[in-house]
Amino acid sequence: MPGKSQSYTDAVLNVLRGSALAGVTPYVGLFSVAPADDAGAGTELAGNGYQRQAITFGAPATDAGNVRKVANTNNIQFGPALADWSQAVAFGVFDAQTNGNLLYWDALTTPKTVGNGDFGQFGAGTLVVKED
């Protein structure tokens, strides 16, 4: 079965940490419709106080099996919402705060709904990116 070495897997994860892309700060965004691997763009939340937030990832670590992972080391806070937001079902990591390129996406373990005046928050270690 084909695969990647651990060092190559870590190199891929380090791109998301910004350590392999000079001058790039990774940002996390939320999707009401998840992107797809076949280039389907998904639907990112927009307006009403929503904007992508800077994310900082820790060093790659081992997860179950032959999987490597990185997780956010900072608390992330979206909002406050100026009106009810659509339910977020996925998150994405981008190379820019606006526009830019989607580098990675995954479904949220628990979909999040943010109401008017509330915040969308993720504690450190709760947004995890995995590579095998």
Please report whether residue 130 resides in a domain.
Answer: no
CB-CB neighbours of 2 under 10 Å: 3
30 domain residue, yes or no: yes
Residue 98 lies in a domain: yes
CA atoms within 13 A on the CB side of 38: 0
pLDDT at 2 over 50: no
Asked if residue 129 has pLDDT above 70, the reply is: yes
> What does pTM read for this prediction?
0.85
Across the range 82-103, mean pLDDT stands at 92
CA–CA separation, 1 and 14 (whole Å): 24
Q: Is residue 110 a contact partner of residue 38, using CB atoms and an 8 Å limit? A: no
Number of independent structural domains in the chain: 1
Q: How does pLDDT run across 49-78, given as a tens digit for each residue? A: 999 999 999 999 998 888 899 999 999 999
How far apart are alpha carbons 18 and 25 in whole angstroms? 6
Residue 131 domain flag: no
Q: How far apart are CA 14 and CA 56, in angstroms?
A: 11
Structural domain including 48 reads 6-124
Q: Check if the beta carbon of residue 89 is closer than 8 Å to that of residue 32.
A: yes
